[in-house]
Amino acid sequence: MKSRTDVAVIVGSGSDLVLINETVKTLKEFGLAYSLNIASAHRAAQHLEQCIKDAESLRVKVFITAAGMSAALPGVVASKTVLPVIGVPVEGKNLSSLDSLFSIVQMPKGAPVATVAVGKAGAVNAAILAVQIIAVSDDNLKEKLKVYKVKMSEAVVEEDLKLQKDGIEKYVEGLKK
């Protein structure tokens, strides 16, 4: 068993792992320890409760959950813990992913779930939000976040310089490759 877990990541289905791999990569980039489980709120409720209890016993600080369609998982996790829960709506074919987005964002009073964007951007943002939550009491992590944001800014400036040098046609053509 792990000695420390910062973030517990729970997905509703194995098919969600492709998306949540973006979350895991970002958590690793910041050096955060994580657990990862598949636990459906509808099909394996007892297993989900055990995953939550196990994570809490490892003194987890934040839960990240990913779910599609009815997306009950984030809300169920929020109902079983007092810790912050971040919900990642999984892209789907049904209702253009609006079903999962609305299911996560429309939580009733008293059961908050921080909801991020649908898909890959949301998967990365969930990890960044978890880092920000933990960084409130971790100055080393706060410094890593500052460096991360500087690198993001530098990347945008670099893109603009490339656009200014090459022009839009050549820049867009380069995107196609």
pTM of structure: 0.91
∠153-85-142 over CA atoms, to 5°? 35
79-131 residue pLDDT tens: 999 999 999 999 877 666 788 888 888 888 999 999 999 999 999 999 999 99
Task: Encode pLDDT of 13-72 as tens digits.
Answer: 999 999 999 999 999 999 999 999 999 988 889 999 999 999 999 999 999 999 887 789
